Structure 1
Amino acid sequence: MDNLLLKYVIRKCFVKLRDTISLCYICGDLYKNNALDEKDFIEFLESKDATPRSTELFLLKTLPKQCTFETFREIISIHYDFLLEDIDKCRQEYRAPERPVLNKIETKARLIAVKQYYDIKRKHWNGNIEDFETFLGDTNKTYEARIESIRHWNKLHSKDDLTLLNDELTMIADMYFKSMILKWRHEIGKTNPTLARMKELRSILQDIIPKTSVPQLYTMSICGQYALAMRAVGDIDEASRNIYVAKQLSAEIPNCREKLSILSTESNTEWERSARKGLIDGTEKERLIGLVKESRIANRELNSNKSQTECQDELRAAADFDNATIIVEALIRVGIDDKGRNLAEVDVTKTDLQEAKRCFDHIEQKRHWHILSDRWKIIYFLAKGKVSHLLNITSDAEEFIVCARQHAAKVPYLAEIKQNADTFKL
């Protein structure tokens, strides 16, 4: 696995890393996090060579094989946190080399599938689950029927019929893929997802990809979606690995809604990783907010590049994404995660409160509040309650928590967020 960012950081910080790091402190953690293969780990354990030369070889030759920057940074934060400032500075300076861009992702099949996706998403989130399941079942039957027809006409060597059937199959495959992504997201959000079920859904989608109009785009999408699933089942390391793969694939794909989803998953995953370890200090907050702002900028750039005749669904999706990043920035500031859990150990400064208020002022504008999704409204009220509590305005704090719980009670999904709202303690 060629991690160009990690190689860049090693090169820029090489002398300091070589003179500071003791391999005995980091190799075990690297192996545990699947960032060091078994052969190299055993070689290290059997070696008695602890000279600077061995460290140099390890940094240049062994470490970049399968370690990601994110994993390396996390391990450094445990043993050598004083190196983080230099490492993060290099991360900000890094510019990935330009790669050939896959220009044509707006295929006819994908455009139709995206429109259908928004149509069924509206039904789905309005509670018409039965209609959605019927649509999905019918699409699956049509998809399988086209595959069977292609097998039949292949045997008859009917070129004209095969061309038509393959074109029809591509249209259906894109639609089926997007629909299954929505089903996957529904199961992650509403149920208690299991690893076995998440792998099953991934397998179904991987089987569809070769029939779609843009296989590389949809492969990237699966990696991002599986990262979201792994975060839901509690495997943050596996989530990070899939995000890394998705971002490698995304380098050859122009900005699109699927890429934005991966950036959002990355920032939320990094946020949860830091929260689990109790590592959210001022520096870490700024790093996490930097990831959130990166996704916000990409969303605004995507929206600005669209024509004035863009469909209302896409405009709504862009506005939803923008609002979500602003809410997330406020949550990081005040120490609440994106599932509504209060991170009591996070220190909240006066600057954090001022910046959170700026975010709240944006969301409270009528045009933004009107379209804000239920998930973010619930967590918004929790965040407002915590801010009021920190400002010693007890009556307002209690009122906002009650509002969050009342709003959560009206929502038939979002089980984890509803539970966190019901048990939220300041």
Structure 2
Amino acid sequence: MDRLLLKYVIKKCFIQLKENITPRYICGQLYTNNALDEQDYIEIVDSNEENQRNTERFLLKILPKKCTFEILRDAISDSYDFLLKDLDQSRQEFETTVVHKTSESKSGPEKPVVINIETEARVLAIKQYYDIKRKHWNGNIEEFNVFISDTSRIYEFQIESIRMCHGLHSTELLSGLNDNLAIIADQYFKSMILKWRHEIGKGNPTRTRMTEIRTLLQDIIPKTSVPVLYYMSVCGQFALAMRAIGDLDEALRNVYAAKQLGIAIPNCREKVSILSTESNAEWERSSRNGRIDNAEKERLISLVKESRLANRELTSSDRNIESEDEIRAAADFDNATIVVEALIRVGIDDKGRNLSDVDVSETDLERARDCFAHIEQKSNWHKLADRWKIIYFLAKAKVSNLKKKYSDADMFIKCAREHAAKVPYLSEIKQNADNFQLGEHCSNTLT
């Protein structure tokens, strides 16, 4: 597969490579990485200047023998970095078209090719995503909406500019406009994901509206820098939307579709989010069906731990984890999974409802206490989102009630209600905190 990829890239980028590369300048690194035979290396080094400019044999006949795409890319990255964009785009095209067709025609499994998602456009879009998300965190909804509206307007203006310039027959101008369109499209896509999440979070989303937003995003995707990543992201967000309207089967179907699309995509924030949606939807479906026995608890907790591990791996390896917003998001996610593990153990759902028919063993209580101890560390508590703080107190109340510490249970319910009163959103969780019931020994009438 490496040889097929390299041959494909060389063919697609042949003119750019032939017109720019002097083999003598890169053959040393290729030879060091065993990508050239000794005879080929000597022939290249000893050739005169005129022969050095004739790269046809070098590119089409010599390189595919032992070289790989990554070795060639590294070899030209210092002196010919301006060629990397064309190489990377050709590789992405190979991975999203040729590899897909080849895998369908083969009977045996093949290791998936990993798609490069670290495009300039996506990196810029991620930064913008956290900038506008911070406005939402701070409750500045008006500025949040204006920003999304402006991004939409800029995107539509760019589309119209490209349409008008087609009549000018200027390849250079159109190339520049299309390059800029990818940056704008990535930013518009990410801003619309935030708007989608905002509409889901504010309550009472409808299937019609959720489908409308999904269709709009799917129209943007072909213009983005990494279409397959964003198709995966749309499936994940639609799964979140379907869970919000109560259709868990449709939510999980979209989760599985997203995971299938993500096979060739490296670990990223979008994939971590999909794993979280899966574990939460599975958890809700099990609680609805009243079947959270010990075996089911462990299955659900394994899904939570999978998302936690993916988040921690991403945090330790992602070069984009630099800003305070990104660090906060990663820490919040990690802490949330630890709270969720405790909730599953003691039978509280992620909206703060008491699942009274869930059996809680001593092992469950012990492991829940370990989770609580982690969350109660000052640095972790400070990073924990408000919704999880409220539900944490309700879980602590249930544990206290099970241990027959009824006054402690009353105290924790009061803490949950007081904390919920300070939050101007999360209406469903606040309502569940106000109406929280444990049993005959707990008063549950605190004010």
TM over 0.5: yes
1:265 maps to what in 2?
A: 277
Q: CA deviation at 1:257?
A: 0.4
Equivalents in 2 of 1:316, 1:273: separation in Å?
29
- Deviations along 1:139-158, one digit per CA (max 9) or x if unpaired, are 10000000000000012212
Counterpart of 1:276, as a letter, is R
Q: Is the 8 A contact 1:385 1:397 kept in 2?
A: yes
- Deviations along 1:378-398, one digit per CA (max 9) or x if unpaired, are 111111111111111111111
Equivalents in 1 of 2:259, 2:321: separation in Å?
30
CA RMSD after TM alignment? 1.5
The question of 1:375 aligning with 2:387 is answered: yes
1:177 maps to what in 2?
A: 189
Inter-CA distance 241–362: structure 2 relative to 1 (3 Å threshold): same
Equivalents in 2 of 1:351, 1:219: separation in Å?
41
Counterpart of 1:325, as a letter, is T
1:425 maps to what in 2?
A: 437
Q: CA deviation at 1:338?
A: 0.8
Counterpart of 2:192, as a letter, is M
Q: CA deviation at 1:168?
A: 1.5
The question of 1:125 aligning with 2:137 is answered: yes
1:359 maps to what in 2?
A: 371
What SS does the corresponding residue of 1:213 show, helix, strand or coil?
coil
- Deviations along 1:256-300, one digit per CA (max 9) or x if unpaired, are 000000000000010011000000000000000011111111111
Equivalents in 1 of 2:240, 2:369: separation in Å?
29
2:310 maps to what in 1?
A: 298
1:152 maps to what in 2?
A: 164
1:3 maps to what in 2?
A: none
What SS does the corresponding residue of 2:114 show, helix, strand or coil?
coil
The question of 1:106 aligning with 2:118 is answered: yes
Equivalents in 2 of 1:191, 1:335: separation in Å?
24
Q: Is the 8 A contact 1:224 1:265 kept in 2?
A: yes
Q: Is the 8 A contact 2:394 2:433 kept in 1?
A: yes
The question of 1:317 aligning with 2:333 is answered: no
2:289 maps to what in 1?
A: 277
- Deviations along 1:92-125, one digit per CA (max 9) or x if unpaired, are xxxx966423331011110011011111111111
- Deviations along 1:3-56, one digit per CA (max 9) or x if unpaired, are xxxxxxxxxxxxxxxxxxxxxxxxxxxxxxxxxxxxxxxxxxxxxxxxxxxxxx
Counterpart of 1:115, as a letter, is K
2:417 maps to what in 1?
A: 405
Equivalents in 2 of 1:176, 1:396: separation in Å?
49
The question of 1:209 aligning with 2:208 is answered: no
What SS does the corresponding residue of 1:251 show, helix, strand or coil?
helix
Q: Which runs of 4+ in 1 moved over 6 A?
A: none
Q: Percent identity?
A: 71
Equivalents in 2 of 1:423, 1:255: separation in Å?
40
What SS does the corresponding residue of 1:258 show, helix, strand or coil?
helix
- Deviations along 1:337-375, one digit per CA (max 9) or x if unpaired, are 111111111001111010000000000000100111111
Q: Is the 8 A contact 1:278 1:345 kept in 2?
A: yes
Q: 1:389 aligns with which of 371, 390, 401?
A: 401
Equivalents in 2 of 1:169, 1:310: separation in Å?
26
Counterpart of 2:349, as a letter, is D
Equivalents in 2 of 1:171, 1:214: separation in Å?
11
1:345 maps to what in 2?
A: 357
Q: Is the 8 A contact 1:99 1:251 kept in 2?
A: no
- Deviations along 1:291-345, one digit per CA (max 9) or x if unpaired, are 1111111111111213597333222222111101100000000001111111111
Give the alignment's TM-score, normalised by structure 1.
0.76
Give the alignment's TM-score, normalised by structure 2.
0.72
What SS does the corresponding residue of 2:341 show, helix, strand or coil?
helix
Counterpart of 1:129, as a letter, is I
Unaligned runs of 5+ in 1: 1-95
Q: Is the 8 A contact 2:123 2:320 kept in 1?
A: no
1:327 maps to what in 2?
A: 339
1:134 maps to what in 2?
A: 146
1:415 maps to what in 2?
A: 427
Q: Is the 8 A contact 1:101 1:254 kept in 2?
A: no
When Rg is computed on C-alpha atoms for both structures, the one with the higher figure is 2
Inter-CA distance 307–111: structure 2 relative to 1 (3 Å threshold): closer
